[in-house]
Amino acid sequence: MNHVAARVKPRYAGKRTRLDKPELLAPAGSLEKLKFAVHYGADAVYIGGQKYGLRSNADNFSFEEMREGVAFAAQYGAKVFVATNIYAHQEDLDGVADYLRQLESVGIAAIIAADPAIVETAQKVAPKLEVHLSTQQSTMNWQAVQFWKEEGLPRVVLARETTMDEIAEMKTRVDIELEVFVHGAMCSSVSGRCVLSNHFTDRDSNRGGCCQSCRWKYDLHADEQSVMEPGENLFTMGSKDLCMIRHVPDLIDAGVDSFKIEGRMKSIHYVASVVNAYRQAIDAYMADPERYELRQEWVDEIGKAANRPLNTGFFYSTPGAEEHIYEPEEKPAPYDFAAVVTDYDEASGIATVQQRSPFRPGMEVEFFGPGGRQFVQRLGEFTDEEGNPLTVARHPLQKIRVKTDRPVAPLDIMRKRL
Amino acid sequence: MIGEARFGMRQPADIAQEELEKAAEAAHRLGAKLYVNMNKLFRNHELEALPAYLRAVKAAQVDAVVFGDPAVLLNAREHAPDVPLFWNAEMTGTNSSSASYWGRRGASRAVIARELNEEEIVDLKAKAAMEVQVQVHGMTNIYHSHRNLLESYMQHLGREATLIRKGPDRGLYLVEAERPDEKFPVYEDENGTHVMSPDDICLLEALPELIRAGVDSFYIEPLLKSDEYNETVLRSYREALDRWHRDPEGYAFDEEALENIRRLQSPDRELGFGFLYKEQVY
């Protein structure tokens, strides 16, 4: 008997009992980001390959890097998925079968696909590769979910328009894994149903060319006149970013199988911080749902990496005026990645860190690691690897030796306030 | 093609369920076919209405149902068997394999994305064993959101939302700062916010190429146009198609017909070939 499941309050009518912990699924824009995502607690990561993904500007993975990523993830029992979520034109489809076979052979667990041409090819040529239906298919009702189940797909990534109650109903009616975006940037359009980039810049948004025209500023005209008065903000379609850290129990109770974090283009600091927060919230709720309490540290943790205002999307109501960004500009995240710990000598209390952005002696920084370990550190004098004192850590990737008040571990992150 | 906002997106006007039969009769009397648009993406609570509507569609002897959401496909199999199904997933109908995929699941026609170029259209038609429909005239939807973006903006400005009357043809446009000459029609209805292209596709000149490619259906989008405009456009394409079929060898493009459309064309909106001769990058 699973005591955890028995004690979960049936918040949603007809919800099934949760026996299993939902998966935390994180983006990984590069091999290095993959390692951080997994180390900080992701159960699975999704990456892009050289082709067929929707982030044509991202630092995408070669097959060799995928192999290494899969091996690294396996040490933690984590899986690697590949986004092949374009809507293909004819020219893109040559070679797709070979590509999918390659993904299967390097140990990728699943692809995330929208185009039925890719779904079907994968089922045919790479049977060990799971096919997850991408959010780009905009699946937002239980019968559509049922359809994809009948087509043999083990998992559907729901449209971002789906509400909490609708998810719970889908879960009750169809026995299939549901993956849901819980954090990150959102299309304000129905995913896939936007070709603004195609019209503005001849870049195909559904093949990875999106130039985020929805976040541009527009003048709204009514009857040949602008509705705007001097000093007022222009119209935009740009949405605030999704953040569900305050609502993890609702998501678990509704039956969400995979908590998906958006952001293959985001920084290591961002991915580590966000994964860290959700990991702790999910673990805490599953360990003891009755005594679960949202911890302010998780909310703060996310705030340290966020560069846009946050909201809860469609989960509880249709986004309105407060859920869009009309103000002039986005602020940078309040903290920045300063260094990563590569080694720690317990005897001397000295950490070796690799520089990611400049820092100086005397600066107040924060060290953090998986599981919410963190502390504030006033940096004392530090040296390079040869022991030469430095007045500033100026060089990217330079190894620095610095004393810390508390023990740290490799892959812990040192961040600084901006 | 007719429909109502409960089931189909961006119809110029709603034709109610009770009128389907009359509409089908009227069309059939004139030797025309009548299709019903059900291309919406449905939510759980909207599914309930599908069986009755599909039964009404079948009873009215409508010639086809247009769908994008697989939920319509599942319901149609059960409640309107034998009514032909046209697959229209708007921007996402981009290759012959996906068209064929829906073909094998019951669709007899694929309505293909307006963002394909001629080479892609020709190739798609050659490879997909089903009818292919191409939009040849009018505006296209380029952005669809389930958010009420205009209402939200009015709230943000602290204005009454009354400025934003629901439905198409309310004279609302978006103008992007660096493109002052392009006006993007925008409107809200019960299905969310729709942004439309700033120019109109006009493939009258390219008809012979599309006919030779085997395109089965040429669609004229009437949305946000006057009756006079739509009649003129329809007549021009009708006449061109008829002339071609009478004598393909002797067919020549009728500049006059295009001129007639141009005379009624809003000066704000260019007539163009859409993506027919474009290369896109990504």
Read off the pLDDT of residues B83-124 as tens digits, 9 standing for 90 and up.
999 999 999 999 999 999 999 999 999 999 999 999 999 999
Q: Are B105 and B196 in contact (CB under 8 A)?
A: no
Q: Which residues lie closer than 8 Å to A399 by C-beta, 6 or more apart? A: A342, A352, A353, A354, A355, A384, A385
Q: Which amino acid is at A404?
A: T
What residues of A are in contact with residue B142 (Cβ under 8 Å)?
Answer: 194-196, 198-199
What is the predicted pLDDT for the residue at A8?
Answer: 38
Distance from CA of B92 to the nearest CA of A (A): 6
Percent of chain B predicted with pLDDT > 90: 93
Note whether A191 contacts B: Cβ–Cβ < 8 A: no
Cα–Cα nearest to A390, from A412, A343, A358: A358
pLDDT in tens, chain A (418 residues): 333 333 334 455 444 456 689 999 999 999 999 999 999 999 999 999 988 888 766 668 999 999 999 999 999 999 999 999 999 999 999 999 999 999 999 999 999 999 999 999 999 999 999 999 999 999 999 999 999 999 999 999 999 999 999 999 999 999 999 999 999 999 999 999 999 999 999 999 999 889 999 999 999 999 889 999 999 999 999 999 999 999 999 999 999 999 999 999 999 999 999 999 999 999 999 999 999 999 999 999 999 998 899 999 999 999 999 999 998 766 778 999 999 999 999 999 999 999 999 999 999 999 999 999 999 999 999 999 999 999 999 999 999 999 999 999 999 999 999 8
ipTM, two decimals, is 0.96
Mind giving me the DSSP string for A331-384? PPPSEEEEEEEEEEETTTTEEEEEESS-B-TT-EEEEE-GGG-EEEEE---EEE
Strands B131-138 and B141-145: unpaired
Structure tokens at A161: 């328009």
CB contact under 8 A, A142 and B186: no
Q: Are A115 and B121 in contact (CB under 8 A)?
A: no
CB contact under 8 A, A88 and B192: no
Burial status of residue A124 (CB atoms within 10 A of its CB: 0-12, 13-18, 19 or more):
exposed
The 10 Å Cβ neighbour count of residue A114 is 27
How far apart (Å, rounded) are the C-alpha atoms in residues A48 and A84? 7
Q: Identify the three-state secondary structure at position A178.
A: strand
Q: Which amino acid is at A221?
A: H
What is the predicted pLDDT for the residue at A57?
Answer: 65
Output the CA torsion sign for B2, B8, B9, B13.
positive
CB contact under 8 A, A198 and B143: no
Strands A335-345 and B217-220: unpaired
CB contact under 8 A, B147 and A318: yes
What is the predicted pLDDT for the residue at A164?
Answer: 97
Burial status of residue A254 (CB atoms within 10 A of its CB: 0-12, 13-18, 19 or more):
buried
Query: Chain A 303-362, CB below 8 Å of chain B: which residues?
Result: 314, 318-321, 323-324, 326
Q: Identify the three-state secondary structure at position B73.
A: helix
How far apart (Å, rounded) are the C-alpha atoms in residues A331 and A322? 17
Query: Chain A 89-128, CB below 8 Å of chain B: which residues?
Result: 89-93, 114-117, 119-121
Note whether A56 contacts B: Cβ–Cβ < 8 A: yes
| Probe site for chain B from A220, A224, A311, A314 (most B CB atoms < 10 A) | A220
Given B42, B155, B278, which is nearest A202 (Cβ)? B278
How far apart (Å, rounded) are the C-alpha atoms in residues A75 and A136? 31
* Residue in chain A nearest B157 by alpha carbon: A232
Query: Chain A 222-241, CB below 8 Å of chain B: which residues?
Result: 222-224, 227-228, 232-235, 237, 239
Task: Write out pLDDT tens, residues B234-273.
Answer: 999 999 999 999 999 999 999 999 999 999 999 999 999 9
Task: Report the DSSP beta bridge partners of residue A352.
Answer: A343, A401
What residues of B are in contact with residue A202 (Cβ under 8 Å)?
Answer: 278-281
Given A147, A219, A233, which is nearest B73 (Cβ)? A147
Mean pLDDT of all residues in B45-67: 98
Structure tokens at A156: 């559907």
Look up tokens 């205002």; give the residue.
Answer: A309
Mean pLDDT of all residues in B20-41: 98
What is the predicted pLDDT for the residue at A331?
Answer: 75
Q: Identify the three-state secondary structure at position B262.
A: helix
CB contact under 8 A, B70 and A214: no
**CA A228 to centroid of chain Cα atoms:** 36
Q: Which amino acid is at A162?
A: T
Distance from CA of A235 to the nearest CA of B (A): 6
Structure tokens at B196: 């439309």
What is the predicted pLDDT for the residue at A58?
Answer: 65
**Crossing angle (nearest 10°) for helices A31-39 and A63-75:** 10
Note whether A196 contacts B: Cβ–Cβ < 8 A: yes
Distances (CA, A) of B268 to A241, B12, B182, B262: 35, 20, 7, 12
Given A115, A188, A233, which is nearest B98 (Cβ)? A115
What residues of A are in contact with residue B107 (Cβ under 8 Å)?
Answer: none
Task: Report the DSSP beta bridge partners of residue A206.
Answer: none
Given B70, B142, B147, which is nearest A144 (Cβ)? B70
